[in-house]
Amino acid sequence: MMNAAILGCGTIGSGVYEVIERNQKEIREACGQEIRVKRILDLRQFPGQPFEKLVTPDIKDIVEDPEIDIVVETMGGTKPAYEFVKSCLLAGKHVTTSNKALVAAHGTDLLETAREMHRNFFFEASVGGGIPLIRTLYTGYAGQEIEEITGILNGTTNYILTKMSREGSEFADVLKEAQQLGYAERNPEADVEGYDTCRKIAILASLVTDREIDYQKIHTEGITKIEPVDFRYAESLHASIRLVGSMVRARDGISLLVAPELIPEESPLCGVSDVFNGVLIRGNTLGVTMLYGAGAGKLPTASAVVADIIEIAKHREENVPFGWHEGALSPMPLEKRKGRFFVRVSGSGRESEGMASAALGGAKILHLDGEKEFGLLTGEMTEEAYAEAAARVPGIVKMIRAAV
């Protein structure tokens, strides 16, 4: 038997308790032993809850309890999560967390501490919620050179974009609706500005490259400026617009970007709607695969934590090779990134179209009924070349990157 403690009895933390209780039989079969929750850290009390008596407000009751083998961190944020997790590892406990902020900010240090202590620091639930993603990178994709990861990694923004696409509605209206449904936070900045996606793609890229990647160095754009008319252009290109975090292994290094992109209808990512997440992974000989599932939610996320617990129980006394090592990797400068660009240009008429087309090497001009503007899809070019050319085109209203 192994004893676990849960730090933070919020949505995910209480979900972990629930999954461990409900799936006792399956868990025992999977790891050959019983897992029991012995303690829950929370400043609140939970009268009437089945775990009422397990709750303690004092982290010492966990750190100093030699019977506790596994600590589940589901508090969120980095303070005091970092300090608590670090002391648990130093006390010889394994840790699993669902907290992407903690992993993105302190992953390198915590992974190293876990190695020194012959324990494990896992974080399956921190990216892609219930999608079996991180461990699969070490098993199903073992032996691959991962050439690309493109992920719809944030359910809130995906809900907003698919809803806007279907109904032709405005960003602000759909955001309000999402907030009412509980799909978006009252302060939605972390989601809609792409910060959440940024931390997640940084974690995935670190896992693939084995190097620390500072998420603050990743160029990040959100979806607040996407308008209904953008979807009409997208449709005319047989594409949709999604917020993606992407990592591409290019000749000049690792290209990392978080931005809304035009995704072609035939891409499996286009089938990822509403609050779901999907991660497209391209291996050099395996080709394209995609993993799809609930990117958030109490029980899916808690289930991913429990999968970590099972892996820990199978490797009780050893550090499983996992995560990245020290030595920072700087993303390739954005200017060197290559891609296609969709731009909207105000005005109309042959002259302005010709001018824009000449400057941008426009492969395709697009018109929508009733709009006093036109769209243009460039060929493949670097971000630098695009920026230079775009500066010479008057009236550019918007640019969206295009994976079409």
Contact positions vs a copy of itself (CB under 8 A): 18-19, 22-23, 26-27, 30-32, 124, 130-133, 135-136, 138-145, 266, 268, 270-273, 276, 283-294, 297, 299-300, 302-304, 306-307, 309-311, 321
**Which lies closer to a copy of itself via its Cβ, residue 268 or residue 333?**
268
Three-state DSSP class for residue 34: coil
Instruction: Write out the H or E segment, with its range, that includes residue 327.
Output: strand 325-328
**Which lies closer to a copy of itself via its Cβ, residue 87 or residue 246?**
246
Is 86 annotated as catalytic? no
CA distances from 339 to 353, 377, 380, 384 (A): 21, 11, 5, 11
Q: What does the chain come to in residues?
A: 404
**Which lies closer to a copy of itself via its Cβ, residue 293 or residue 375?**
293
Quote the least distance from Cβ 268 to a copy of itself, whole Å. 5
Quote the least distance from Cβ 269 to a copy of itself, whole Å. 9
Quote the least distance from Cβ 160 to a copy of itself, whole Å. 17
* CA–CA gap between residue 403 and residue 325 (Å, rounded): 32
Asked if 67 and 36 touch (Cβ cutoff 8 Å), the reply is no
**Which lies closer to a copy of itself via its Cβ, residue 19 or residue 95?**
19
Three-state DSSP class for residue 205: helix
* CA–CA gap between residue 74 and residue 99 (Å, rounded): 6
**Which lies closer to a copy of itself via its Cβ, residue 306 or residue 396?**
306
Quote the least distance from Cβ 84 to a copy of itself, whole Å. 24
Quote the least distance from Cβ 364 to a copy of itself, whole Å. 23
CA distances from 76 to 29, 85, 102, 319, 331 (A): 30, 12, 7, 24, 26
Give every CB contact of residue 22 below 8 A, 6+ residues apart in sequence. none
Here the tokens at position 113 are: 């501490």
> Cα 348 to chain center, whole Å?
39
**Which lies closer to a copy of itself via its Cβ, residue 317 or residue 351?**
317
Q: Given 93, 100, 163, 200, which residue is catalytic? A: 200
Single-letter amino acid, residue 170: E
Find out whether the peptide bond into 80 is cis, omega within 30 degrees of 0: yes
Quote the least distance from Cβ 197 to a copy of itself, whole Å. 19
Asked if 272 and 291 touch (Cβ cutoff 8 Å), the reply is no
**Radius of gyration of the chain, Cα coordinates, nearest whole angstrom:** 23
Taking the CB of residue 156, how many other CB atoms lie within 10 A of it?
A: 23
Quote the least distance from Cβ 49 to a copy of itself, whole Å. 18
**Which lies closer to a copy of itself via its Cβ, residue 309 or residue 343?**
309
CA distances from 136 to 140, 141, 244, 303 (A): 5, 7, 20, 15
Four-point Cα dihedral 195, 198, 199, 200, nearest 10 = 120
Instruction: Tell me which residues are annotated as active site.
Output: 200
